Amino acid sequence: MLILLATSGAQLSFGQDSEPSRLELTGIDTSTLPIISLRLVGVQSNGQRIDTDQTPLEIQHGAETISQEQFTSMEKEEVGTLTLVLLDTPGGVAAELPAIQAAMQMYAGSEESGYMVERADTIGIYAVDFSDPKPLLEPTFFRNSVINWLAIEPPIQEGSTALYDSLDSMLDQVSGLKPSPEIVASIVVFTDGTDVVSTRTDAGAVTQKAVDLNIPIHTVHLNNSLIAFPEEGQQFLQNLSNRSGGFATELNEEGVRQMWETISSFSQQTVIRYRPAEPVPGNVPISVRVKAFPNVEAFTSAQFPADQLKVEFGLEEYFQTAVVPDLTQPIDLSLPVAISWLDGRDRAVSTAQILRNGELAAEIPVGESGLDSADFTLVNMEYGPNEIILAVMDENGNRGNSSPLILNVAPGEAQLVPDAISAGRSFSFGRSWLFGLLGLIILLGIAAYWVLSSGKQIKIADLFKSAFAPKPRRRPSSGQFDANNDYSELNSDSYSSGSSFGDETVVSGHSSSSIKTETAAYCLDVIDSDGTDPITLPIIGLEQRLGRSTAKTDLAFENEHTVSRIHATFAREGDSYRLYDEQSTAGTFVNGVPIPDYGQMLIEGDEIQMGALVLRFRRAN
């Protein structure tokens, strides 16, 4: 009991020196009514990013409470970071200069080994000076600019330097140096922590300003051979990092690596799309909070004009797939459209355009009766997901956009576009009901035939439950979320990968038995590896996680040291699987190309590389 109380007291004492967890709303988009988009990032009290995939959120839209299960979508978006490095290198730390270079090299590195994402992450390097920081490398998002600067050893600073004043000035400059307002900025200070010449501010004021501005300051303590008692400087750096949500470390490889990992984790932010039940004109307060901790909350507000446009496609966002022989083949589409205004009054639509991946793709003619469908042809498509948006302007010049519709394009011998969006079919909601009723009749007929032929009894209620059960259409984690599905049982038959399709499978010495029998439509051939024999592994169910951890994955390779604990996920889509990288260290590649955040749809024969592990995706038969 005494040990427990002592430990609890020590943790409480540490917690008092740090700020509580917080959410920050970095962006809001109301132009896609009736869907509203929020971009946010969460910071834990220890400076780590809040994992929104594992932390249920809740939105308060005016008087309406919207739970995470009601979100239209929730995904990750790469926005980049801003890192400002401040070097405090007096003569007593000369021996530390090579290690500082190595630490900076670890961040810039290469595309494979570094933490910097070129053209997304921005970094600037400054030196502590008599009052304000002196630029050594102006903020840049080019990796080579940093590497070229590192070719020259950082300069030794002569004379006295004002650490506190330089930090205070840098905090004031951060907002103006951001490439875009939504990105997370942080400051990294390499210093011995001592300062005896600052006149404009002091240690406490600098720390409080960092807290007020929500700017984490990460500190790397340097050993100064001329300082007999470095404890005071170390204490200042520790307190500065703890209070501001930064990371404090000595100048060693492991500590610096953890610092860069913390910074780079904020490159991705969470984008939530939701549909309020009754959007109304006027100024509406909006907040997002962590459901388990109501005090962790972020606030904003949105102004909705009475004549604001509401633009919708009459289709779900993520299920369209087109398979084309080559990218020169045009794709003809006919999409149902619903256009209205927030106050319920009818107005005339003057222009309508289709944007593909942000660029104008087609002009949609608008008739006297308005616009209830969009018929157009897409050319110059790209393999992978193509984002399609309908942009509309009414007679008064008001503009509105639909939320994005994703058309996945894959190579193949035939064009396969769902009937609902095929050109030549004037699709309407009335006809959709007709086709739906016809499909239901066919489904009931098949079920009745099965019951009669098998001699089994089945309840009519169970039949309807099965017929109308929600089908998964999007991946529930790592950038994709479907509010309409309960994924709690997806991995109930989880197993570790193995050498056969029998009742027990083994990979790298790990076994898992009592696997339920299920026919595998696809499998993986291990064709190259550091620690696994060539084997064939079945892919079964709606989702399979692959990695080194035997406890957290379904296909476990515990002796593959280049594979992350949870490396990648196979998620069922249609009659194939989409592959997602789970922010792995080595990355996930398909046919030598890194897969994007939204995953890669797999086709027969694709070669998948995860570190030294190489797999081939193919049909099981």
| pLDDT at site 445 | 65
340 and 225 part of one domain: no
Q: Count the domains in the chain.
A: 4
Q: DSSP letters along 90-119, please? A: BGGGGGGHHHHHHHHHHHH--TTT-S--TT
210 and 124 part of one domain: yes
360 and 234 part of one domain: no
Q: Report d(CA 65, CA 129) in Å as an integer.
A: 51
Q: Report d(CA 205, CA 608) in Å as an integer.
A: 52
Tokens at 84, concatenated:
């400002």
- pLDDT tens digits, 536-591: 888 988 889 999 888 888 888 888 888 888 999 999 887 889 999 998 888 899 98
- pLDDT tens digits, 172-198: 999 999 999 999 999 999 999 999 899
For tokens 């929020």, the residue is 38
| pLDDT at site 454 | 44
24 and 61 part of one domain: yes
Residue 487: inside a domain = no
Q: Report d(CA 276, CA 278) in Å as an integer.
A: 6
Q: Report d(CA 287, CA 297) in Å as an integer.
A: 7
pLDDT surpassing 50 at residue 486: no
pTM value > 0.85: no
First to last CA, the chain: 61
Residue 462: inside a domain = no
For tokens 């296909």, the residue is 555
Residue 364: inside a domain = yes
297 and 244 part of one domain: no
145 and 255 part of one domain: yes
- pLDDT tens digits, 295-311: 899 999 999 999 999 99
Residue 137: inside a domain = yes
- pLDDT tens digits, 371-414: 888 989 888 888 777 889 999 999 999 999 998 888 877 776 54
Residue 486: inside a domain = no
H/E element, 336: strand 331-341
Q: What are phi and psi of 594, to 5 degrees?
A: -65, 140
- pLDDT tens digits, 598-615: 889 998 889 999 988 999
* CATH classification of the domain holding 94: 3.40.50.410
| Nearby residues of 594 by Cβ (< 8 Å), 6 or more positions away | 581, 587, 588
293 and 415 part of one domain: no
129 and 256 part of one domain: yes
Burial per residue of 214-239, b for 16 or more beta-carbon CB atoms within 10 angstroms, e otherwise: ebbbbbbbbebeebeebeebbebbbb
Burial class (CB in 10 A: 0-12, 13-18, 19+), 250: middle
| pLDDT at site 326 | 73
| Nearby residues of 344 by Cβ (< 8 Å), 6 or more positions away | none
| Nearby residues of 181 by Cβ (< 8 Å), 6 or more positions away | 26, 27
Q: Strand 184-191 vs strand 217-221: parallel, antiparallel, or unpaired?
A: parallel
Residue 356: inside a domain = yes
- The SS3 assignment for 258 reads helix
284 and 364 part of one domain: no
Please say whether the beta carbons of 606 and 523 come within 8 A. no
User: Domain span at residue 161?
Assistant: 81-267
Chain CA centroid to CA 155, Å: 38
Average pLDDT rounded to a whole number, residues 351-370: 90
249 and 396 part of one domain: no
Q: Strand 248-250 vs strand 217-221: parallel, antiparallel, or unpaired?
A: parallel
pLDDT surpassing 80 at residue 505: no
Q: How many CB atoms lie within 10 A of CB 57?
A: 23
Q: Which carries the bigger pLDDT value, residue 159 or residue 416?
A: 159
* CATH classification of the domain holding 350: 2.60.40.10
Burial per residue of 103-112, b for 16 or more beta-carbon CB atoms within 10 angstroms, e otherwise: bbebbbbeee
Query: Nearest to residue 487, comparing CAs of 406, 574, 545?
Result: 545
